[in-house]
Structure 1
Amino acid sequence: MSADLATAQRVAGQVTDPEMPMLTLADLGVLRDVEIDNGVVTASITPTYLGCPALATMRDDLVHRLGAAGFDRVDVRVVLDPPWTSDWISEAGRKALAQHGLSAPGSVRRPVGIQLGPVRRNLVCPRCGSSRTSLVSEFGATACKAQYRCNECLEPFEHVKEI
């Protein structure tokens, strides 16, 4: 691996998610690959879901950070196959979510089917560890999060949905 490629991978790996800035795109599992070919750095990303409004910001942040690191020609490629899954969040990413009061998604290891019935998740409060939690709203600050409340410590928290 060339020094340029290692630098490009390191720089791209430090770009944070615009909606959950405690996570890098690498820890979120969105940054799939970084390559250099004929002087062009290509970063491949997979959005967490097809309508992700943060996709353009991710692209711009990668182009800006890689440009600031001296890479003049940067291309960001969107890769949709295979689709992103919350299983791609790294262990460090899961810890960062918990440290910031967000409940990390559980493992899916299979495609998540659409369910029209009530959502039921067995969550643990990221603040006190109690399993006595209640859904407040299936929609949080972003479409990929739901709002919960701990019935023990009474603190609200967000849960990153399994996808």
Structure 2
Amino acid sequence: MTRTAETMEIWNTLDTVLDPEVPALSVTDLGIIRDVKLSDGGKVVIDVTPTYSGCPATDLISEIIKAAVVSSGHEDVTIKTVLSPTWTTDWITEDGRKKLKEYGIAPPVGEAATGKAALLGISPVVHCPRCDSTQTEQVSEFGSTACKAMYRCTSCLEPFEYFKCI
């Protein structure tokens, strides 16, 4: 994917489009924007990979992305859903991980939370986003959305969400 000056302007617009479920992250921080193409005729095609195929915010995110790009001066905008390869939390940028922590959500951590380790009940070491303690415990497998779990820090006693590894 080659970024030209014209597509960089669109990428910059996408940097301002916030995820409706986690408004601390832009869609580029989340890593769901796969590609931006601009034809000689001015048609914009944006490839988007949803965080998972059943994500209830997928259509809304596509509408928000399209509206932002249209508002930036592009009239012919198509959002193309790309399901393969599937999105993974590895695609969240480092800046996005920092923003999650600052927002109070523990970012996804380590290989222990993915693959066979999760099936074997090996829990990740989740740092409290408030005090950075590793003395944390899972309260619920699900938080405000299916992609997050509820945790509690046993050091500072604060509850927080953890963005689960996928």
TM-score, shorter chain, exceeding 0.5: yes
Q: What is the match of residue 141 of structure 2?
A: 138
Alignment partners' CA distance in 2, 1:85 and 1:143: 14
Counterparts of 1:102-117 in structure 2, within 5 Å, are 102-108=105-111, 112-113=115-116
Indicate how the Cα distance of structure 1 residues 107 and 77 shifts in structure 2: closer, same or farther if over 3 A, else same. Answer: farther
For structure 1, list consecutive stretches of 5 or more residues without a partner in the other structure.
none
Q: Which amino acid aligns with 1:25?
A: V
Choose the corresponding residue for 2:66, options 43, 57, 63: 63
Indicate how the Cα distance of structure 1 residues 105 and 79 shifts in structure 2: closer, same or farther if over 3 A, else same. Answer: same
Choose the corresponding residue for 2:9, options 7, 10, 34: 7
Alignment partners' CA distance in 1, 2:147 and 2:74: 32
The 10-residue stretch of structure 1 (69-78 or 38-47) with the greater mean CA deviation from structure 2: 38-47
Instruction: Please state how far the C-alpha of 1:107 moved relative to its aligned partner.
Output: 3.6
| 1:136-160 CA-partner distances (Å, limit 9, x unpaired) | 1000000000000000110000000
Counterparts of 1:1-163 in structure 2, within 5 Å, are 2-37=4-39, 38-108=41-111, 112-113=115-116, 118=121, 120-163=123-166
Indicate how the Cα distance of structure 1 residues 125 and 74 shifts in structure 2: closer, same or farther if over 3 A, else same. Answer: same
**TM-score normalised by structure 1 residue count:** 0.91
Instruction: Please state how far the C-alpha of 1:119 moved relative to its aligned partner.
Output: 6.3
Equivalenced residues, count: 163
Percent identical pairs in the alignment equals 42
Alignment partners' CA distance in 1, 2:85 and 2:4: 28
Q: What is the root-mean-square deviation of aligned Cα atoms in Å?
A: 2.1
